[in-house]
Structure 1
Amino acid sequence: MPSIAASSLVSLDFWSKPQDERDQLFASLRAAEGPLFCPVPDEPGFYAIARYEEVAEASRNPQVFSSQPTAVSLVDPPPQVAPYSGSMISIDDPRHARLRRIVSRSFTPRLVQRVAGDVAVLARHIVDGLAERGPCDFVEHVAMPMPLQIICSMMGIPESAYDDVIDATNVIIAIGDPDYVSPDGADRAAVLTEKFSFLHALMADLGRLRRENPADDLVTALTRANVDGEALDDLDLGRFFSLLVVAGNETTRNALSHALTLLTDNPGQRDVLLGNLDVRLPAAVEEIVRYSTPVTWMRRTLTRDHELGGHVYRAGDRVILYYNSANRDESVFKDPHAFDVARSPNPHFGFGAPGPHFCLGAHLARREITVLLRELYTRLPTLHATAPPVRQRASFINGIKSLPCAF
């Protein structure tokens, strides 16, 4: 088993397998005496951390388990990609804390109130379109528009750029998927540089425009924000926008897509939810996020020797924190492989584990998922998937590319 598991975790073929097969492998990792080491070709390799408490402890200890040089790749970023990808998610305090404060303070009460209204209006518009269109691809017509349009509206991105933004995020997240990157021998670093450059250029142009002509959007607030004498420059703006559209768009989109799949495959749980939608929905959203775990893992790099779970890691070791495994840990969750819309308590890591890198947009993601599901199942209670989802060929994101639906 260990040799098979070690090769599986670095293979996109494994991440394309059915949920049950992936769950079995991680159950064996949680039951093992020590962490599994996974070699990576031409790289140092990594240790797989699969247990809930160990994922939590590493996440709470960034002085030892560092997010630098990257939190989102099994391998270090190529030199030409590194300047673009060094967002808040891949840096440590004190700079991480300063940038997070700048961003947090830019979400003014007025902006938050406007965004909340936008979510409700957009949900109604999306369901209006679905009711008129009939059977269609749920990802394209329902799950994708919600986070994309909310984020772009917050930032002031013109609608004419939406298609290019979603293309860039798809490629960055699922660089190994041939549906997003044509198998023509294109260099991975070159493709990533192209997509990151587009997002950064879009934000640099908008930042310059907002410095000269302020508006009621997040970019204006970010260009004016200042914490401890530090403001965001064009590179910081580009990094933040890249993080926001990739993390905020892809994760919410996939949580919504998994929601339809789960409620179709579990009709009993669907009946429980629809029997008292307003009361059941908040817990159901948490269970959807736990069960689907849209962000599968994060990487950390050891700054010094440290013992965790009885194993001594050495300075420079790379570890992968598997949130999907933590969210199935039998020592924390009763019947962890069951989908239970009434599950309580539900201390999942669907938005990351406790610590300084807990998802800054968790509140917005919860609101988007909740409002759209309420609108969908209030107006179209027979909505269901008509075939299994087509999954992304990726390990970092538990992504769904397409999902046919009807009502």
Structure 2
Amino acid sequence: MTTAQSPTPERIAADRAHCDIDISTERFWRQPFAAREEAFAALRARPGITWHAPLDVPFPHEEKGFWAVTRHADIAHVSTHHDLFCSGQGIGLGPIPVEFEQMMSFFLAMDPPEHTTYRRIIGAAFTPKQVRKVDEVIAANARDIVDAVVGAGEFDFVERVAALLPMHTVSDMVGVPRSERDAVTEAAGSIIGADLDTSEEAITRMFENIQYLHSMGADLAEHRRKHPADDLMTSIVQAEVDGQRLTNEQIGAFMILLSTAGNDTTKQTSAHVIKALADHPDQKAWLTEDFDGRIKQSIEEFVRYATPVMDFARHATRDTVIGDQPIAQGEKVAIFYCSGNRDETVFAEPDRFDLTRWPNPHQGFGGGGIHYCLGHFVAKIQLRCLFSELLTKLPDLEVGEPVYLSSNFVNGITSLPVRA
């Protein structure tokens, strides 16, 4: 006589039917944002959460699929329960080689207590004095960047404005030599802003750029250990929590994170917003009427509307539930901020660009919890400084039609023609 055994999570996942709304294919992610949002709206309208096939990648893997978490409340639940949904087993929507994720993500792909320690060390480097210096650097860079395009005629807003401010900010903060800044900008852009190209050549190029940025950060850290200065990199190498400091290798990983996540998020928000302001002159007029009094509130709508980072993943640490849906230990759970920020139960007319929207509990910096974006205050400073300069010095900027990035991670614009 044999005894019946409960099916393993792997067996359950293999037998479970995938959702009929397919969000796993390259074809889906090459659609415009509005078309993808129709699919996410349909998923939000269904009870529970849905199971989907793993994304196609050009290398072998053992993933069976992922749960799509599309409602605002469910995203917040996953984000704020790191004991149930961990980051250390991978944060990418698609299967990612472990060496890529470890080098690219730093503490984004860590769990407590390791994550707590490293986040506190990085946070300790941002002293009030350093924050003031960051603000001053950003204001000066924004002024110089906008001054350079006043009267320039036609130009690409992404290339000449949106991409420059965050990369200059990162470079100034950590001391990237001016001779290396173009290379750093190109490397960072090729990693996080890459189109849906999964060829061997593209992956090799991406890995080379990851290694370049890692080496750059480690070299800058070593230089500041030997030659300390009054700058953020010195604060980073000297920051200490419970007797622990970052190694050069860890600072190299942090450099990748700064150059990619810290760069592309603000870059893409800026590009989406300049287009939205052109398309909604009433909103532009409202903001311009009292910029200083209204920009703080407006930035929250900037980030909600753009949602530059569309998703992250977690893995269940034990058998649990989301709503009434059982989730087996080890299963991947994808949290779609791009859907949560359009949740009609939270945001009235969610597709509308509305700077007066308040409160605005968007998930553009994450759904809360321990992984809430550490650099959100730097992003907000950049947006405030940049749009102060743009609306003052280029109030009649003509904005053309954007070319959008095809990506399953970044809601991006690759180019945007404008006329000053």
For this structure pair, what is the TM-score category when the shorter chain's length is used for normalisation? over 0.9
The aligned runs of 1:210-221 (5 Å cut-off) are 210-221=224-235
CA distance in 1, matches of 2:370, 2:398: 38
Give me the CA root mean square deviation: 1.7
**1:163-182 per-position Cα deviation (integer Å, ceiling 9, x unaligned):** 2212222222144445xx8x
**1:335-387 per-position Cα deviation (integer Å, ceiling 9, x unaligned):** 1111111111101011111100000010110110011101110121111312x
Matching residue's letter, 2:402: P
**1:281-312 per-position Cα deviation (integer Å, ceiling 9, x unaligned):** 22222111101101101100111001111101
Q: Of residues 73, 76, 84 in structure 2, which corresponds to 1:56?
A: 76
CA distance in 1, matches of 2:309, 2:326: 27
2:21 counterpart of 1:5:
yes
Q: Of residues 180, 183, 187 in structure 2, which corresponds to 1:161?
A: 180
Partner of 1:290: 304
Kept after mapping to 1: 8 A contact 2:105/2:257:
no
Count of residues in Structure 1 that have an aligned counterpart in Structure 2: 397
2:92 counterpart of 1:72:
yes
**1:49-95 per-position Cα deviation (integer Å, ceiling 9, x unaligned):** 000000001100001110112213421x3244344235111111111
Partner of 1:149: 168
Partner of 1:404: 417
Q: Of residues 49, 54, 58 in structure 2, which corresponds to 1:35?
A: 49
1:4, CA displacement in angstroms?
5.0
Partner of 2:145: 126
Could you list the structure 1 runs, at least 4 aligned residues long, displaced by more than 3 angstroms after superposition: 174-178
TM-score by length of 2: 0.90
Q: Per the alignment, do residues 323 and 128 of structure 1 end up closer, same or farther by CA in structure 2, a change over 3 Å counting? A: same
The structure that has the greater radius of gyration is 2
Indicate the percent of aligned positions where both proteins have the same amino acid. 37
Partner of 2:9: none
Q: Of residues 228, 239, 243 in structure 2, which corresponds to 1:229?
A: 243
- Residue aligned with 1:312, SS: strand
Q: Per the alignment, do residues 186 and 13 of structure 1 end up closer, same or farther by CA in structure 2, a change over 3 Å counting? A: same
Partner of 1:46: 66
Matching residue's letter, 1:89: L
- Residue aligned with 2:314, SS: strand
**1:144-174 per-position Cα deviation (integer Å, ceiling 9, x unaligned):** 1111001110001112112221222222214
2:213 counterpart of 1:193:
no
CA distance in 2, matches of 1:281, 1:383: 19
Partner of 2:6: none
The aligned runs of 1:303-382 (5 Å cut-off) are 303-382=317-396
Kept after mapping to 2: 8 A contact 1:70/1:86:
no
- Residue aligned with 1:186, SS: helix
Matching residue's letter, 1:143: A
Kept after mapping to 2: 8 A contact 1:80/1:193:
no
CA distance in 1, matches of 2:106, 2:77: 23
Q: Where does the alignment leave 5 or more consecutive residues of structure 2 unmatched?
A: 1-17
Partner of 2:315: 301
Q: Per the alignment, do residues 197 and 115 of structure 1 end up closer, same or farther by CA in structure 2, a change over 3 Å counting? A: same
Matching residue's letter, 2:143: R
Kept after mapping to 1: 8 A contact 2:19/2:50:
no
Kept after mapping to 2: 8 A contact 1:106/1:218:
yes
- Residue aligned with 1:5, SS: coil
Q: Of residues 98, 111, 129 in structure 2, which corresponds to 1:110?
A: 129
Kept after mapping to 2: 8 A contact 1:261/1:385:
yes
- Residue aligned with 1:47, SS: strand
**1:72-121 per-position Cα deviation (integer Å, ceiling 9, x unaligned):** 3421x324434423511111111111001100111122211111111111
The aligned runs of 1:88-107 (5 Å cut-off) are 88-107=107-126
Matching residue's letter, 2:418: C
CA distance in 1, matches of 2:101, 2:312: 17
- Residue aligned with 1:227, SS: coil
Partner of 2:12: none
- Residue aligned with 2:326, SS: strand
2:268 counterpart of 1:254:
yes
Kept after mapping to 2: 8 A contact 1:65/1:302:
yes
**1:265-291 per-position Cα deviation (integer Å, ceiling 9, x unaligned):** 222222222233332322222111101
CA distance in 2, matches of 1:100, 1:404: 39
Kept after mapping to 2: 8 A contact 1:81/1:192:
no
Q: Per the alignment, do residues 82 and 16 of structure 1 end up closer, same or farther by CA in structure 2, a change over 3 Å counting? A: closer
Kept after mapping to 2: 8 A contact 1:72/1:90:
no
TM-score by length of 1: 0.93
Q: Per the alignment, do residues 86 and 327 of structure 1 end up closer, same or farther by CA in structure 2, a change over 3 Å counting? A: closer
